[in-house]
Structure 1
Amino acid sequence: MGTPPDLTLWGVGTSRTLRPHWAMHELDLTYRTRPIGPRTGETKTAEYTALNPRQKVPLLQDGDFCIGESPAIVAYLSRTYSTPERALIPESQREYAAWLEWCFFIVTELDSTSLYVMRRHGAHALGHIYGVAPEVVARAGEYFREQLRHVEVALSDDRAYLMGDRFTSADILLTTCLEWAIAYGVGICDNARPYLDRIRERPAYQRGQAANTPPTAP
């Protein structure tokens, strides 16, 4: 038996921090949680800034190695700690390329270009920091729905997951965006609803949600 990994995950409370918590449980990994939140001042401490100069969450420490950005953390965990029974990345070159395409699409077109724009400029989100812009928010929601048609087409053959019958980390990324869109009232395509219902039944998803919950103030 080798030495067990020394894993610490910083960050709770957001869609993006949920991703690595969930991946940890899919891979059945033991880890410590440092439950800091974004824009709380906790990411600006000297201790955290030394680990992550970007001052963002989540952040993974694996021994003396640190990596941020939730899709990168999930991919790293999958590549490093997958087993034949628990793997979140396809093995064949072409399936790997298709997986990578989905990951980039979800992170760029659904997350950063659409949902995070709504978060930045929404009156009830971060508009007080970046400026409230109702038209920008509305257009970003429209763009999300336009881009989601690619997911709708992919799921139209009744596949269980984005990559077919196999759950991958692309499903982690997509699920967090679908839930984010529902929370923002954007709406999702009809065939994404049974997909989402299946995902939410996964024990690792449920454990990841619990681990991502911010601690109750004393």
Structure 2
Amino acid sequence: MNKKEIILWGVGTSRTIRPIWVAEELGLSYKVKPIGPRTGETQTDAFTKINPKQKVPLLQDGDFCISESPAICRYLINQYGLAENITAPACAQEKAREDEWLSFIYGELDETSLYVIRRHEALAAIYGEAPNAITAAKSYFQKHISVAENRLKDRKFLIQNKFGVADIFLTTCLIWAEGSQIELSNILTEYLSNMTERSGYKRARIKNNQKL
């Protein structure tokens, strides 16, 4: 493999679009390997060799491999610098604030809320039906999304009032929430509309939605 070649493995989910979107905002040259999380392709010996977790998304940058969408997005920005379209905090306190938001979005909105809903609705054949868990997860999401809503009452973006990785994560969760029939406030709906009008998002969506 060309050591400068960047490959992003995985398409079709809210998690796989995140690093693709970052790469688009940074204007990077990269390839997308369109495999899905449940197509069997992540279970092959070849893929398991580069990612023993057998999960997507996965980043390959030459001989370096890393999984988990927060880590991938962070790496791309740290390794390849900033662009006009996306920024990252410069000082320790601002970096900590962004880490706080990323942890909150990924932990409370993605894993604890939206993925629980997905497991017991779209993936009920695998994980079983659990209507009470779905109801509780939706309530949990509504409770915690209010934190982001309050943050966005007087600003366009989550951090420094500039577009960054935290906005990518929040946007993908809001899209996911709408797909799960969770009602969003006017503030969040307007924010989502602005984020999805970005050309970087539109390009990333096309690549993330390609056929497996």
Q: Which residue of 2 aligns with 1:139?
A: 136
Identity among equivalent pairs (%): 48
Q: Which residue of 2 aligns with 1:8?
A: 7
**Does the Cα contact within 8 Å between 1:7 and 1:60 map onto a contact in 2?**
yes
Separation in 2, partners of 1:87, 1:195: 16
What do the CA deviations read for 1:83-109 (whole angstroms, capped 9, x no partner)?
A: 363543211211111111000000000
Separation in 1, partners of 2:186, 2:163: 20
Of the candidates 109, 123, 128, which is equivalent to residue 126 of structure 1?
123
Any unmatched runs of 5+ in structure 2?
none
Q: Which residue of 1 aligns with 2:76?
A: 77
SS in 2 for 1:182: helix
Of the candidates 185, 189, 195, which is equivalent to residue 185 of structure 2?
189
4+ runs of 1 displaced by more than 6 Å? none
- Normalising by structure 1, we get a TM-score of 0.93
**Does the Cα contact within 8 Å between 2:42 and 2:56 map onto a contact in 1?**
yes
SS in 1 for 2:35: coil
What do the CA deviations read for 1:194-216 (whole angstroms, capped 9, x no partner)?
A: 11111111110100001111327
Shift in Å, 1:42: 0.7
Equivalenced residues, count:
211
Q: Which residue of 2 aligns with 1:113?
A: 112
With over 3 angstroms needed to count, the CA separation of the structure-2 counterparts of 1:54 and 1:4, relative to structure 1, is: closer
Q: Which residue of 2 aligns with 1:22?
A: 21
Q: Which residue of 2 aligns with 1:101?
A: 100
Any unmatched runs of 5+ in structure 1?
none
Separation in 2, partners of 1:119, 1:63: 33
